[in-house]
Structure 1
Amino acid sequence: MHLSLPESIETYFAVSNGAEIARLSGCFSADAIVIDEGHTHRGLQAITSWQHDARQKFSYFVELLHVERDNQRVTVLTRVAGEFPGSPVQLNHVFQLADNRIRSLEIR
């Protein structure tokens, strides 16, 4: 299934599913924040490290299930499956956009 998403969010999910991590610089603002598993990652360097560490720990694939939009807020329901405890899980990725880039992402 293909869901219509802003380019920055499509790029984020492409990276999550194995595309080159360097592409994150094109989808996040320089001062972006990611909140995942109770940890806050601030700035592009921290976000890049977070994504790199996730790839090193686990093999996984993110399937997009549903999208909801509310102005600059986009919530994507996903199924994440792979080699990690509790797989598969359904997660909401809540994005806040600014100037067509991801300003914040909370995964819950």
Structure 2
Amino acid sequence: MAPTLPTPIAAYVEANARLDLEGMLRPFADDAVVRDNGAVHRGRAGIRSLLEEAVIPVRAVFTPDTVRHEDGAVVVDGPAHGDFPGSPIRFTYRFTLDDDAITTLVITVMEITS
């Protein structure tokens, strides 16, 4: 059973499952920040570039299996599957929300699954 996610996070996850670029961007605030793999992506243009370069081409789909609330953030763990080395890989997505929009997302690798 999938965990219950706040609306903007659920919208992002559902769009990611369809590899829907516009749908993945929609839940982010205009000035949102995503930190992934040591890089910082600012605003919708920066996040769009990240998704176009690192998600869509390798068909990376994140499937949450746990959710918890920590220090004002919504922390979601789960595997990402796709056409990339090591797939699937477990990730932690740490979301901060404001006014029903994602304002920050920090993505970290948890562990490689078999």
TM-score, normalised by the number of residues in structure 2: 0.84
Aligned to 1:64: 64
Report the alpha carbon displacement of residue 10 of structure 1 after superposing the two structures with TM.
Answer: 0.8
Say if 2:105 is the partner of 1:105: yes
Say if 2:45 is the partner of 1:45: yes
Count of residues in Structure 1 that have an aligned counterpart in Structure 2? 108
Aligned to 2:79: 79
Q: In the aligned structure 1, how far is the partner of 2:55 from the partner of 2:92?
A: 19
Report the alpha carbon displacement of residue 71 of structure 1 after superposing the two structures with TM.
Answer: 6.4
Q: In the aligned structure 2, how far is the partner of 1:70 from the partner of 1:55?
A: 26
Aligned to 2:27: 27
Which amino acid counterpart does residue 37 of structure 1 have in structure 2? N
Q: In the aligned structure 2, how far is the partner of 1:56 from the partner of 1:101?
A: 22
CA displacement 1:17-44 (0-9 Å, x = unmatched) = 2243222443111110001111110001
What percent identity do the matched residue pairs reach?
A: 30
Q: In the aligned structure 1, how far is the partner of 2:9 from the partner of 2:86?
A: 25
CA displacement 1:36-56 (0-9 Å, x = unmatched) = 111110001111221122244
Give structure 1 stretches of 5+ with no counterpart: none
TM-score, normalised by the number of residues in structure 1: 0.88
Give structure 2 stretches of 5+ with no counterpart: 109-114
Q: In the aligned structure 1, how far is the partner of 2:98 from the partner of 2:58?
A: 30
